[in-house]
Copies of this chain bind each other. A is one copy, B any other.
């Protein structure tokens, strides 16, 4: 039984699909890039200006060539399969703001490094991410574009699924070439020519459109035979209609339109069906990612991915909190619970995110790890095997006896999660022992964690390959 079945029936999924089809064929999707329009036309789609209409047949053909699972090759980290509940996850947050001791400030390059280290030393993440540099003064254009990717390749021990080639600020006509060169660099690093070595995100512009640059990126990925994840983040009543069902329908139509393009450009291109659409708070006119409706989007996305037989991305430890507070705890628990219940194949906001995606908080990284462990414990359920009923033990101890004797038994350690961050003291002991806050405990753990990071070894050849792309400051370690 799948967790989403409690929320979404087969019939609901089919209803969403019928609405998606109607949108694709009657409303259409805008592709603001002549190359894309050319491809659609060539394959017989109706194109009106920049609007492309996709019919059932074209969608079904695309879904039939998109693989249910695919493998990402790495000579250094081993192959990894995306699909079937692969749970390839990274903590990633913004490169905009950081929350520190109750205050929000702008991020620096050093913060980007610390975020990377938090992710590297995290027991719950298995993928690496590196944010784009904020201060690029003194860096070459190549370092700006490929620096984040080169930093991952040089300094991470985790799967480097996502490319992080930076095309910010480049003229449109350069995007394709810069991206493509990045994927080629990855292949050279891995020493292969014809394998999938990277997966990269291409996001629609809700509602129902793709702008120029992401389409260039999509072509670059297809042309290099790499994998693509497509993740709309639609805001109801702004970039999506006023309802959850409507926002689902438009955002799914966006994703599928992108997937159709990938399959027309290069049939068999591995794609991930994503959705992180959420809520809009109309009092502040802000995206709200720590929203109950976002939990429902997680379940719906899982259900639709099963229906379309595609790997999927959704959710994370998402919160709109501005501080390390009750809201951060409650929203992250809500969102990680639904996310982990859905078992996404891939997710990139698994720890440390707050403030509607735009704020990073290192202490929240530690919090989200605790929440992750708690939720995974719940989802493991209860072991009802005979020996777990401890009948002989119960008989021996008897009514009004005490089960505590000697060392903590294995059965207990197997069944009960031991909190790593949360306070389980007696209230007065805590108060009299200095009332150390959970924030303080998290802060100490953050410091230990960042200090515990050590650089992995790579070969001399790999080192030399990456050298031109690594900014001087980080060439000899981070």
**Chain A, 347-390, contact with B by CB distance < 8 Å: what is the 0/1 string?**
00000000110110000100100110011011001111100111
Is the CB–CB distance between B51 and A399 below 8 Å? yes
- When distances are taken between beta carbons in the complex, the residues of chain B under 8 Å from A26 are 395
- When distances are taken between beta carbons in the complex, the residues of chain B under 8 Å from A281 are 418-419, 424
Inter-chain CA distance A431–B430, complex, in Å, is 31
Given contacts A19-B391, A27-B395, A408-B237, contact A292 B438 (CB under 8 A): no
Is the CB–CB distance between B382 and A248 below 8 Å? yes
Stretch among A5-13, A156-164, A306-314, A452-460 lining the B interface: A5-13
A332 within 8 A of B: yes
A435 within 8 A of B: yes
Inter-chain CA distance A71–B392, complex, in Å, is 41
- Which A residues between 83 and 111 are near B, CB-CB below 8 angstroms? 96-97, 102-104
- When distances are taken between beta carbons in the complex, the residues of chain B under 8 Å from A241 are 390, 393-394, 397, 403, 411
Is the CB–CB distance between A8 and B382 below 8 Å? yes
Stretch among A167-175, A267-275, A316-324 lining the B interface: A316-324
Partner of A325, one of B209, B326, B395, B398: B326
Given contacts A382-B12, A408-B282, A416-B293, contact A389 B327 (CB under 8 A): no
- How distant is A32 from chain B, measured CB to nearest CB, in Å? 8
Is the CB–CB distance between B320 and A400 below 8 Å? no
Is the CB–CB distance between A423 and B322 below 8 Å? yes
- How distant is A422 from chain B, measured CB to nearest CB, in Å? 5
Inter-chain CA distance A385–B330, complex, in Å, is 30
Inter-chain CA distance A250–B415, complex, in Å, is 16
**Chain A, 326-346, contact with B by CB distance < 8 Å: what is the 0/1 string?**
111111111001100000000
Closest to A363 in B: B326
Is the CB–CB distance between A244 and B333 below 8 Å? no
- How distant is A334 from chain B, measured CB to nearest CB, in Å? 5
Of A326, A337, A394, A399, most buried by chain B (CB within 10 Å of CB) is A326
A474 within 8 A of B: no
- When distances are taken between beta carbons in the complex, the residues of chain B under 8 Å from A377 are 292-293
Partner of A394, one of B249, B284, B321, B404: B249
Is the CB–CB distance between A320 and B408 below 8 Å? no
- How distant is A370 from chain B, measured CB to nearest CB, in Å? 7
A276 within 8 A of B: no
- When distances are taken between beta carbons in the complex, the residues of chain B under 8 Å from A374 are 292, 330, 334
Of A279, A283, A435, most buried by chain B (CB within 10 Å of CB) is A279
Is the CB–CB distance between A378 and B30 below 8 Å? no
- Which A residues between 275 and 289 are near B, CB-CB below 8 angstroms? 279-284, 286, 288
- How distant is A147 from chain B, measured CB to nearest CB, in Å? 26
Inter-chain CA distance A343–B400, complex, in Å, is 31
**Chain A, 174-211, contact with B by CB distance < 8 Å: what is the 0/1 string?**
00000000000000000000000000000001011100
Is the CB–CB distance between A326 and B6 below 8 Å? no
- How distant is A362 from chain B, measured CB to nearest CB, in Å? 13
Closest to A282 in B: B408
A426 within 8 A of B: yes
Is the CB–CB distance between A425 and B286 below 8 Å? yes
Given contacts A394-B27, A438-B325, contact A378 B250 (CB under 8 A): no
Closest to A409 in B: B242
Partner of A3, one of B6, B300, B364, B435: B6
Jot down 8 A-B pairs with beta carbons below 8 A, ordered by A: A12-B382, A12-B384, A28-B399, A284-B424, A286-B424, A322-B435, A326-B364, A333-B333
The 6 closest A-B pairs by CB, nearest first: A329-B329, A329-B330, A326-B329, A246-B390, A281-B424, A30-B399
Known contacts A243-B414, A245-B388; 15 further A-B pairs (Cβ under 8 A): A12-B382, A27-B398, A208-B398, A209-B399, A239-B402, A246-B393, A284-B426, A292-B417, A295-B378, A321-B438, A322-B423, A322-B431, A329-B331, A333-B334, A338-B378
